[in-house]
Structure 1
Amino acid sequence: MSDAELMSIGSFAQRCGLTASALRFYADSGSLLPAEVDPVTGYRFYREDQLAKAVLLRRLREIGMSLPSVNSALGADVIDAIRTVDDHVTTVMREAESVRQQAAAITTTLAERTRLQIARLSGPVLASAIEQILTATTDDPDIAVLGGVHVEAGPGVLTLTASDRYRLSTRTLVSNVDSAAAWAATVNGDDLRQSLGDLRRTSSVSVDVTDHGMNLRLTGRGDHHCRFVSEPFPDYRSMLATLPAVTSRVEVPTATLLHALEQRSAARIWLCSNDKYLVVRDVHGDRSSDIELPARVDGPTIDVWFEMTTLYPAISTAVGTDVLLDFRGREQPATVRSADRGDLTTLVMPVAAPRDTPTEGHTP
C-alpha cells in the first residue's frame, strides 16, 4: 500500500471525529487497529475504508455504550449489532427510570416539612383524566407551558386543564380532601405521562405539593414526582367567561361520529347540519359522499371547518355514549362535551374553509 493511500492519525482523527489520543486508546484496546505502524517512529496510519468503522465506534460511545459492548457490535453482523444497540437502550432507560424514582423519593423526603395535601382520589380515575387532558398539549420548545397541565385544587375538587392554542380541555374531579386550600400550578406533562402506568394499577393516590413540585403518592407503589412549569398558564377562565352565547347545539352518538371522521382522509373536516342530521361532508363539496348522522339539532344550521388533528381527539376523549357539540358561529370556538356528564369540556377552534371550496350550498 502506497503512502498516498494512508492517512496520518491526525488526519484520520479529524475526519472521523475522534481525537488522536482516543484513537491510540482504541488501538491499544483492540477496538480499532491502525492499518500500519511505522516500525521506526511508531507513527500510526489509517486507511479510507476504516472511516465508517471509526465513525460507528464514536457514535456508539456517544450513547454511553461500554467498550466490551462496542467491540461486540463492531464485530457482529448487522442484525446482531442492532440487537446490541437495542439492548443497551433498554438498559439505559431502565436505569434512568430507577434513578428518576429514587430522585423523586429523595426530593419528597427533603420537602416533607413543606408538603401540602391537595387531593386524594382513585388512581384509575386520575389516570383517565390525565390521558384525556394530555391530548390538548403540544411540544413547543418556545412555549413550554403548552406542554404542561394546569392543576387547580380546592375543597373537594381537583381540576386539570391544558391548551395547545387551538384546543382547550378541562376536567374537574371529585376529591376526598374537603379541607384542601385553594392551590394552582402548571405541571410538566411528560412527568404526568410517565405516571400513568402505575396510576392505572393503584386503588388510591394522594396528591401532595411542595415548593418544588407535585408528588403523586401511590398506595403500594413508589411516588411519582412531577416538576412545575415556570411559565404562567393562560387565563383560560376569563376566556371562557367572554365566549359568545351558543347558537346551535348538536347531540350525536360518539362512536358514530368517530367512525365517520375515520372515513375521511383529508386534513380538514367540514361539518354541516339540518334539523335531523349532522353531515360530515367531502372536502370538495361533493354531496354524493356525504355521511349523514342522525342527530338532535337545536338552533340554526351549522357550516364549520375543523382540523382533523384538533377535532378528532376532542371527540375521542368525550365521556359517554353521546356527545354534545355547541357552536357559536364559523369563527368562534366550539364546545365538545359528554351529553350526560359535564366533568370534561373541550373547546375546539374552527378553521377557514379552503379557497377552492364552493361558496354556495354549504348546508344540506
Structure 2
Amino acid sequence: MRSIGEMARDSGLSVSALRFYDRAGVLVPAWVDPVSAYRWYEPEQLEEARLLARLRRAGMPLADIRLLLAGWAGADTDLVRGLLQAHLRRLERGLAEARSEFSTLRALLDHRENPMTSLRTADVQLSVAAPALAAALDAVRFAAGTDPDLPMLGGILFDMEGEELHVVATDRYRMAVAQAAATGHDGPRVQAIVPLPLADAMRALLHGEEQVRLTVNGDRVSLESGDRQAAGQCLDHDFPDYRRLLHVPTGRRALVEVAAFREALETGPVRASEVREQDGASCDVSVLRLTDDGTVTLCEDGDEDQENVGVNREFLLDALGAGARGELILEVGDPTAPVAIRRPDDEWTFSMLMPVRLED
C-alpha cells in the first residue's frame, strides 16, 4: 500500500489534489484509516494517478477524466481513444478560435493611438530626498519581473506627476507600489521604465540624507547624487496601467507583528503545490484564514475551509521584508482575490500577491 504522500511524490499530483479527486470520486483510495482518516492506495493505482496527472495537464474536463479512467481500468480502448480524440479536437478548435481573436486584437492595437507615448517622451527633472527614494525602491524591488516574454515588466516604473513620484514593480503574480515626495516638476504626468540593473545602480547611490536629482530626457533617465551619477536607457515599452489593478474589494484586515508572523510562516505548515497559474512552477503554499476579529491562522494540511486563501510562502516573506515595519496590515478577501500587505502609516506603499489555487 502507498501512503498519500508517496502517491503524491510518485504521481506528480499534490496531496491536496489527491484529496480533491477522492472527494470527486475520480481516484478513490483503496483504504482509509477509520481513526486517522489517512488515505492508502494500492500499487496499481499509481498508473491511474499518473494518467490523471497527464490528463489534467492537458486540460481535460473532470467528467471526461472520470469516464476515461473507467474505460482504462476496463481495458475499453475504443472508449479511451474516442475520449482522447474528442478532447484533442476541442483543443484544436479552441486554439483556432484563440488565434482568430488574437489576430483581431493585434489589428486593433496597430490602429489604436497609444496614449502612453506622451508619457514616455516628455522631459522632466525633479528633486527627491535620498532616504525617501531608497525606501521606495526597497519596497518594490522584490516584485519586478524576469520573464523574457514580458520585457516591459523587467524594470521599475517611475511615474511622476506633480509633486508625487510613484515607483511600481510587478511580475503578474505580485505587485508593489511605493511613493516618494518630489519637487521641481509641475507639468504633465511622465513615466519611465528603469531597467533593473540601472535601478540597482541608482539604489547604490542613495546612502546619504541629501536631495538627489532625477532626470528623464526622452529615452534616457539619470540619477545624480553629489558628484556621482547612474544613467542609461529607459525600456522602450509601455507599463501596464497599474492604477486599474488597485481596485480590489476590501477584505478582512489584521494587524500582524512582522517578526512573529515571519517565524510562524517559516516554521508553520505548508502545502507543496503545482502552480500552473504562476509560471507552472511548484512552490510552498501557506494557507491563511483571517477571521472577522483580526486573527490570522496558518491552516494545517487537510483543512479545507472555503474561506482559506493559499499564498506562495516565498512571495509573502519577501513582501513582509519589503514592508520594513514592525507591524503591517494583512488584508485577505475572497480566495480568488489578491492578498494585500499594507503599512499602517502609508496608504501608498503596499504590495499585492495573487493567491494560489488550493484545489486542482
Give the TM-score band, short-chain normalised. Answer: 0.5 to 0.7
Does residue 338 of structure 1 match 2:343? yes
How far residue 142 of structure 1 moved from its aligned partner, in angstroms, is: 1.6
**Counterparts in 2 of 1:139-178, with a 5 A limit?**
139-177=146-184
Alpha-carbon distance in 2 for matches of 1:282, 1:203: 49
Does residue 233 of structure 1 match 2:239? yes
8 Å contact 2:140–2:169 — kept in the other structure? yes
Structure 1 residue runs of 5 or longer lacking an equivalent are 1-113, 287-300, 356-364
How far residue 333 of structure 1 moved from its aligned partner, in angstroms, is: 0.9
How far residue 173 of structure 1 moved from its aligned partner, in angstroms, is: 0.9
Does residue 308 of structure 1 match 2:326? no
1:276/1:238 CA distance change after superposition, 3 Å? closer
**Counterparts in 2 of 1:1-364, with a 5 A limit?**
116-177=123-184, 179-201=186-208, 203-219=210-226, 221-241=227-247, 243=248, 245-264=249-268, 266=270, 267-274=284-291, 275=293, 277-285=295-303, 302-354=307-359
How far residue 354 of structure 1 moved from its aligned partner, in angstroms, is: 4.9
How far residue 149 of structure 1 moved from its aligned partner, in angstroms, is: 0.9
How far residue 277 of structure 1 moved from its aligned partner, in angstroms, is: 2.4
2:228 aligned counterpart, secondary structure: coil
2:158 aligned counterpart, secondary structure: strand
8 Å contact 2:252–2:290 — kept in the other structure? no
Deviations 1:44-85 (A, max 9, x none): xxxxxxxxxxxxxxxxxxxxxxxxxxxxxxxxxxxxxxxxxx
How far residue 115 of structure 1 moved from its aligned partner, in angstroms, is: 9.2
How far residue 353 of structure 1 moved from its aligned partner, in angstroms, is: 1.0
Alpha-carbon distance in 2 for matches of 1:115, 1:247: 39
* TM-score normalised according to structure 1 size: 0.57
Moved more, 171-180 or 133-142: 171-180
Alpha-carbon distance in 1 for matches of 2:127, 2:185: 10
8 Å contact 1:118–1:180 — kept in the other structure? no
How far residue 211 of structure 1 moved from its aligned partner, in angstroms, is: 1.1
Alpha-carbon distance in 2 for matches of 1:226, 1:284: 51
The equivalent residue for 2:28 is: none
How far residue 269 of structure 1 moved from its aligned partner, in angstroms, is: 0.5
How far residue 203 of structure 1 moved from its aligned partner, in angstroms, is: 1.9
1:317 aligned counterpart, secondary structure: helix
Structure 2 residue runs of 5 or longer lacking an equivalent are 1-120, 271-283
2:237 aligned counterpart, secondary structure: coil
Deviations 1:175-227 (A, max 9, x none): 122534421121112111122222224622100111121110112x3211142
Alpha-carbon distance in 2 for matches of 1:140, 1:152: 22
Q: Work out the number of aligned pairs and report it.
A: 226
Deviations 1:89-118 (A, max 9, x none): xxxxxxxxxxxxxxxxxxxxxxxxx99443
The equivalent residue for 1:46 is: none
Give 4+ residue runs of structure 1 displaced > 6 Å after superposition. Answer: none
1:200 aligned counterpart, secondary structure: coil
8 Å contact 1:119–1:158 — kept in the other structure? no
Alpha-carbon distance in 2 for matches of 1:310, 1:191: 23
Aligned Cα RMSD in Å? Answer: 2.5
Instruction: Give the number of the structure with larger relative contact order, counting CA–CA contacts within 8 Å between residues 6 or more apart.
Output: 2
8 Å contact 1:202–1:218 — kept in the other structure? no
The equivalent residue for 1:4 is: none
What amino acid does structure 2 have at the position aligned with 1:189? L
Alpha-carbon distance in 2 for matches of 1:234, 1:317: 22
8 Å contact 2:163–2:181 — kept in the other structure? yes
What amino acid does structure 1 have at the position aligned with 2:255? E
How far residue 265 of structure 1 moved from its aligned partner, in angstroms, is: 7.5
* TM-score normalised according to structure 2 size: 0.58
What amino acid does structure 2 have at the position aligned with 1:334? V
User: Equivalent pairs: percent with the same residue?
Assistant: 21
How far residue 270 of structure 1 moved from its aligned partner, in angstroms, is: 0.7
1:225/1:249 CA distance change after superposition, 3 Å? same
8 Å contact 2:195–2:234 — kept in the other structure? yes
Alpha-carbon distance in 2 for matches of 1:261, 1:204: 38
Deviations 1:125-183 (A, max 9, x none): 21221122111112112211121111111221101011100011111111122534421
